[in-house]
Amino acid sequence: MSAGETLVDALLAPIGLAGLVRDHWGRTPFLARRGDSVPLFELPDVAAFRDLLLTLAAPAQGWFSLVRVRGRPPGPSHLNADGWVDGAAVWQEYRAGTSLLLNQVQRRHAGTARLCRALERGFTRAGVRLGRHIGGNLYLSPPDSQGFSIHYDPHDVLVVQLAGRKHWRLYGRRFDNPARPLAEPVAAEDAGGLAAEIALDPGDCLYLPSGTLHEACTHDSQSLHLTLILEPLSWGDLLREVVEADPALRDRLPAGSGRDDGADFAGMIERLRQSPAIRPAMAALRARLLARLDRPVVDFSQAAAADISADTELRLAPGIFGFVAEEEDRAILHLPGAHFAAAPAMAESFRMILERKGVRACDLPVNAPVEEKIGLLRSLLEDGYLVPGAPGA
pLDDT in tens, 144-184: 999 999 999 999 999 999 999 999 999 999 999 888 888 88
Residue predicted with more confidence, 307 or 129: 129
Domain limits at 340?
300-388
Residues 8 and 34 in one domain: yes
Q: What is the pLDDT of residue 305?
A: 53
Answer with the one of 196, 212, 230 that is the final residue of a domain. 230
Asked which of 87-91, 98-102, 164-168, 297-301 is least confident by mean pLDDT, the reply is: 297-301
Number of domains in the chain: 3
Lowest mean pLDDT among 8-22, 48-62, 253-267, 272-286: 253-267
CATH number of the structural domain spanning residue 370? 3.90.930.40
Does one domain contain both 211 and 255? Answer: no
pLDDT (mean) for 131-142 = 94
pLDDT value at residue 380: 92
Instruction: Give yes or no: residues 205 and 242 share one domain.
Output: no
Residue of 241 and 112 predicted with greater confidence: 112
DSSP 256: T
Residues 6+ apart with CB under 8 A from 60: 73, 74, 79, 83
Chain-wide mean pLDDT for the chain? Answer: 88
Q: pLDDT tens across 209-223, in order?
A: 999 999 999 999 999
**Within a domain: 33:** yes
**Contact (Cβ atoms closer than 8 angstroms) between residue 321 and residue 124:** yes
Of 219, 248, 283, which residue constitutes the final position of a domain? 283
101 inside domain: yes
User: What's the residue count for the chain?
Assistant: 393
CATH number at residue 59: 2.60.120.650
- 290 falls within a domain: no
Q: Is the pLDDT of residue 393 over 50?
A: no
Question: Looking at the structure, do residues 203 and 260 belong to the same domain, yes or no?
Answer: no
Judge whether residue 390 has pLDDT over 70: no
Cβ count near 164 (within 10 Å): 21
Instruction: Convert the pLDDT of each residue in 355-367 to its tens digit.
Output: 888 899 999 999 9
- Say if 145 falls within a structural domain: yes
Statement to judge: residues 198 and 328 lie in one domain: no
State mean pLDDT over 117-139: 90
Residue 275 and residue 218 in one domain:
no
CA angle 293, 295, 299 (to 5 degrees): 155
Task: Give the pairing type, strands 156-164 and 205-208.
Answer: antiparallel
With a CB cutoff of 8 Å and minimum separation 6, the contacts of 138 are 44, 49, 52, 101, 102, 105, 112, 224, 225, 226, 227
Q: Per-residue pLDDT averaged across 69-92, rounded? A: 92
The percent of residues above 90 in pLDDT, for the chain, comes to: 56
- Element spanning 50, H or E: helix 46-54
Q: Kindly state whether residue 291 falls inside one of the protein's structural domains.
A: no
β-bridge partners, 156: 230
Q: Does 223 fall in a domain?
A: yes
Model pLDDT for residues 24-48, shown as the tens digit of each residue = 999 999 999 977 777 888 899 999 9
Nearest alpha-carbon partner for 335 in 372, 379, 371, 369? 379
